[in-house]
Amino acid sequence: MSPETLQEFFTLEQLMELFETYRSFGPFFAILLPLVEAFFPFLPLVVFIVANANSFGLWLGFFLSWIGACLGAIIVFIIMRKLGKLKFFQRLREKNAIKKLLTWIERRGFSPLFLIFCFPFTPSSAINVVAGLSRINIWQFILAVLSGKLVMIFMVSFIGQDIRALLTQPIRSIIAGIVIFLLWFVGKKVEKRLNVAMTVKKSDH
């Protein structure tokens, strides 16, 4: 596909039409896509959040994305908690590296989970799986998911709520780009800090 074809496809009119078509599928579809992303983390959650905010408005779009993403994370957690009883996963949990990671999550509890869920571009999908295999209290996990994803999804929804303005107002686009970069940068710093903390914990044992 040539750059000219891409430019013709991603015009403002085409995007607005795309959002209208997306909206016609209804709120169930808007919840379903962020939910499915919890099972297939290669899917673009940020794109789904922006599409919901533009198709349904900031508040409803944010709420639909939040419900879908939280449900997906909780379902993955519950499935992994059930699967953790199988012999394969029991043996996996006994591996030294996995065992130390699980112990670290169980001891740290809410705080690192909340921080990871607060920022886009952090490995939250992997954390859902590992937390499910751990012995962390399910209500502690649910609270971290609900509060962390509330922060993250609202930030993304607020930034991406008006694609028309982002495409027609260069200053706003630059500011949005800077904010997204800062979210990515801080998220990676948080991830790195948590990894360092986990390494320190390993060395103590």
Name residue 63's amino acid. Answer: F
Residue 14 pLDDT more than 80?
no
Residue 135 pLDDT more than 70?
yes
User: 54-74, pLDDT tens digit by residue?
Assistant: 888 889 999 999 999 999 999
The full DSSP string for 113-166 is HHHHHHSTTS-HHHHHHHHHHS---HHHHHHHHHHHHHHHHHHHHHHHS-HHHH
User: 22-32, pLDDT tens digit by residue?
Assistant: 778 888 988 99
pLDDT of residue 2: 45
Query: Terminus-to-terminus CA distance in the chain, angstroms?
Result: 55
**Contact status, residue 148 vs residue 115, Cβ threshold 8 Å:** yes
E strand or H helix at 102, and its extent? helix 96-108
pLDDT of residue 1: 45
Question: Considering the entire predicted model, what is its pTM?
Answer: 0.74
Residue 33 pLDDT more than 70?
yes
pLDDT of residue 187: 61
Q: What is the mean predicted confidence (pLDDT) over 139-154?
A: 90
Q: How far apart are CA 18 and CA 40, in angstroms?
A: 23
How high is the mean pLDDT of the chain?
Answer: 77
